[in-house]
Amino acid sequence: MAGGTKKFLRGLNLEQKQAITHKNGPLLIVAGAGTGKTRVITDRIAYLILSKSAKSSEILALTFTEKAANEMLERVDTAMPLGYEEIWISTFHSFCDRILREEGLAIGLNTAYKILSQIEQWHFIRKNFFRFSLEYYRPLSNPTQFIHALLSLFNRAKDNDVTPEEFLTYSRELEANSPDEEETRRIKELASAYQSYQDMLLEENCLDFGDLQSFALRLFRTRKNIRRKYQEKFKYILVDEFQDTNYAQNELLKLLVNPKKNIAVCGDDDQSIYKFRGASIANINQFTKMYPERKRVVLIKNYRSPQVLLNHAYRLIKNNNPERLEVKEKIDKKLISASTQGNKDTVEFKRFETPENEAEWVSDKIISLHKKGIFYQDIAVLARNNNYLNSIITSFRFHDIPYRFVGNRGLYDQEEIRDLIAYLKFLMNPQDDIAFFALLSLPLFKIEMESLLLLLNFARRYNEHLYSVVKNIAHLKENLTIAPETIKKIEQITNFLESEINLIKKKSASQILKEFLEESGYLKELLTVETIENVRKIQNINLFFKKILQFETGNPDKSVLAFGEYLDLMQEAGDNPAQAEVEDIEVVNLSTVHSAKGLEFSFVFMVDLAEGRFPFYFRREEIPLPDPLIKEEISPEDMHIQEERRLFYVGMTRAKKRLWLTASSSYTIAKNWRISRFVKESLEKVAAEIQTKLPLRTLSLSPKEKKKYFFDLPITLKNFSYTQFKDYERCPFFYKLKHIIGVPELPNSSYSFGQTIHLTLKEFYSLIKNKEKVNVEKLLSFYEKNWINEGYLSKEQETEQKIKGRVALEDFYCINNSNFGEPVYLEQFFKVNLDQDVFLRGRIDRIDKLPGGKYEVIDYKSGNPPARKNIDREEQLSIYALACEEVLKFFPEILSFYYLGTNEKISTERKSSDLKAIKEKLLSVISQIKRKEFPPIGNQRDCKKCSYRLICPKSIA
């Protein structure tokens, strides 16, 4: 074993080493809470590469969420000492999407499909609703009542690998054998609706997330050559959070595993809490049946919590026996703490008369902890449901305790987003008095509420709309006692709004909203003082912008009216996306237990622990999948309570030092709420008395202690790109606005066109690389398929650019037809370790092999070439040369830019000294970023060209 690998394994316990160094064959890693399971998975990836058991490109690692996949990537980065080729680390859905984009044509799938989110699924069915043959599930009084239920059924069917054809076959069998005619009609209606839904999706070239799994399964089942290709490619498969996988995902794994069966799964049945999202605990429970020869490693050494707390958690979870893996596999899963801390007060239960009393006690305790030097960010308050945190929020606001939601929805409920929605609603309908009043009330306009109320009352008295009154304010000033300077302000606002109303048919919703944010001073006001709250608001605005741009990408009508109608429908469907999370800031964490999975905090409060609230009452699916169609192992009758118990267990095991369990006896007036059974199961003794001595509103922070929580985000720079490098060089303050604070930017047409060209040539050269026949028609069909319509100022501009691009590609084909080169890498990912914790990431468009075994790097540019001397100095090509040397292990003799604007290739070369120079330059910029050096460039010419010039508080344009 190499010395580096020995060093790499230091500090691990025996079981962790066994899991990491396991050579061949199936491996089941049973990893309890806080036992370092994610480190085991990522270190196993690094071990396989460093021990030369597999190349990085021969490893597939799958997990449940994008966040978990990103964390896994970051951990692998830290573990790997050098640059490396891309490892396939992703969620199941992202993996299936990647496979289908590359191979879907083999099963007749148009690979330019659009993936629908859950809310977009609802909108899709709503739009096509009367094309479904529904009677039972389309009541006259409320025709769309069952859309959500139907979607849940379709998604559940796909999670269970049930196709529309299987559902239809079942309905026919039921019709032939069942005496219950009404039930037969109901099932036939559902089967028909499922088939119709699938047909309509394909008709519009859309897939939902379940389809990604379904079509990947179809691909591997019907195209054995493709299945064999990926079995040979992936020598090792690793799966994290295996207890969260569904039946279809497990079937996919069975198809991907090669004859050597090098599959390692890591999970904990006691933390399986996603049944409502289709997760099947049967997968981990039956792994031994699938692979009898498997090696099993059990991780029970806990590096998070005191033993006292772990004992209480174990006492709770044992109530799920005999369905637990501990019983079925005959193993010991009782966690053993690596810490010697903890005493009888480590876990405490408190009961209160009202939720307000409960919240006040929690606030009091947190203020007390903070005064003792405990950071707010080390504290979490967890509840079964978001709504159960309302009393806590009210109390926190009173006491000025800073907080944030972890993984919380509610973007549209935030003040800054309500402001923007009010603006859009006003533009859609200037007679909307509520929206217009909300606009005039914005603090940045500084109009006194007394003046606004006078205007509103005047409008109501004369039966006029508020906007009509305000437009004529100059003629009405004798009738209104409003100060002249206020009238002037109102006139300025009205003039701006009038001009925007006249433009709503000519400009897109994103353009209109950007103008409002810039010209009203809304963004500039938020940037003037960088508090936590202001940065969070900017990031929320950025998220809302992305929502608008997503709509504009998929819709020919990009107007405010079209987006407004779409937003109304989305909100009707229940859409309310997650708001921004500003990481690593000094605030208390509020979260549901589900969202806290995978996290840890020194001090944890679990609140609202009453029977009926935690455990939550069981709610049967509105339209369940018929039992005969369920392919996974049917759960026992008390599975709901078992899952709720596992959820409670997850909540308890988030705590590193102390855990408080709290409950109230009166969450509603008409009921005396009993203490949750889980509190009683986890504690030996539960105090019956209700806390009466309460700190009601007494321990607020003193005026001296109250402060504005200024934004001082630690710079955790893990990945760095050429774009970030150039943005910092252009203006460090621009870098801060874009990459750290997250000020929204509109897409520009140049970027969209460049992306279109890159995607087109990638697909075209994939055919050449695979020795397939090509022609100009195929090239142009890829161009049509990959066209991106974002950022164009008008349809005319888009059409003109599209024609130019088409002509350029036709010329490209003619010029290169005799020799398209010998591509060996396309869109080649690279990751270069620049220093201890920062990686340079990127992709190289194309690398060709030249005669004599030499290599040429080619980067496409959609415009015209600059002066030759600029290309010789171009840092992007130096970075690509560095990536080739450190990751691909060869030095490219030629580096070229291919300019589609003129269809000419300009080549240059690099020396070792150039690579050293670019590395030093990159490290210098990274060092400045880490030191938080973000001075404005102070150049009037550059400021005038900057997209942030109107909102930048440092601009001299």
Which residues carry a binding-site annotation for ATP? Answer: 31-38
Q: Which residues contact 598 (CB under 8 A, 6 or more apart)?
A: 67, 68
| Residue 239 CB-density burial (10 A; 0-12 exposed, 13-18 middle, 19+ buried) | buried
Q: Which phi and psi (to 5°) does residue 130 adopt?
A: -85, 10
Cis peptide before 615 (omega within 30 of 0): yes
**What distance, in Å, lies between the first and last C-alpha atoms of the chain?**
61
Whose CA is closest to 336, among 369, 360, 314? 314
Q: Are 278 and 272 in contact (CB under 8 A)?
A: no
CA distances from 782 to 34, 300, 822 (A): 48, 53, 20
As given in the structure block, the two tokens for residue 851 are: 């005669």
As given in the structure block, the two tokens for residue 377 are: 């960010």
Whose CA is closest to 355, among 85, 135, 669? 669
As given in the structure block, the two tokens for residue 153 are: 């059924």
The three-point CA angle 613-616-618 to 5° equals: 150
Dist. CA 237–CA 260, nearest whole Å: 11
Q: With helix as H, strand as E and coil as C, how does 848-876 read?
A: EEEHHHEEEEEEEECCCCCCHHHHHHCHH
Dist. CA 535–CA 523, nearest whole Å: 10
Number of helices followed by number of strands (H, E) in the chain: 40, 22
- Outline where 748-846 has alpha helix (H): 749-769, 776-785, 795-816
Dist. CA 802–CA 361, nearest whole Å: 64
Helix (H) or strand (E) holding 256: helix 247-256
CA distances from 251 to 59, 367, 772 (A): 19, 51, 32
Dist. CA 13–CA 40, nearest whole Å: 11
Strands 336-337 and 301-302: parallel
Determine the residue type at 399: H
DSSP for 60-108 reads: EEEESSHHHHHHHHHHHHHH-SS-BPPPEEEEHHHHHHHHHHHHGGGGT
Whose CA is closest to 440, among 515, 372, 476, 491? 491
Dist. CA 725–CA 925, nearest whole Å: 7
Q: Are 884 and 855 in contact (CB under 8 A)?
A: yes
Q: Are 611 and 641 in contact (CB under 8 A)?
A: no
Dist. CA 126–CA 487, nearest whole Å: 46
Dist. CA 838–CA 571, nearest whole Å: 41
Helix, strand, coil shares of the chain, percent, nearest 5, are 50, 15, 35
Check the CA dihedral 533-536-538-544 and report its sign.
Answer: negative
Whose CA is closest to 888, among 859, 849, 836, 939? 849
Q: Which phi and psi (to 5°) does residue 655 adopt?
A: -85, 135
Provide the 3-class DSSP secondary structure of residue 920. Answer: helix
Dist. CA 595–CA 877, nearest whole Å: 43
Residue 625: DSSP 8-state: P
Helix (H) or strand (E) holding 571: helix 560-572
Determine the residue type at 537: K
Q: Which residues are annotated as a binding site?
A: 31-38
Q: Are 567 and 513 in contact (CB under 8 A)?
A: no
As given in the structure block, the two tokens for residue 186 are: 């109901």
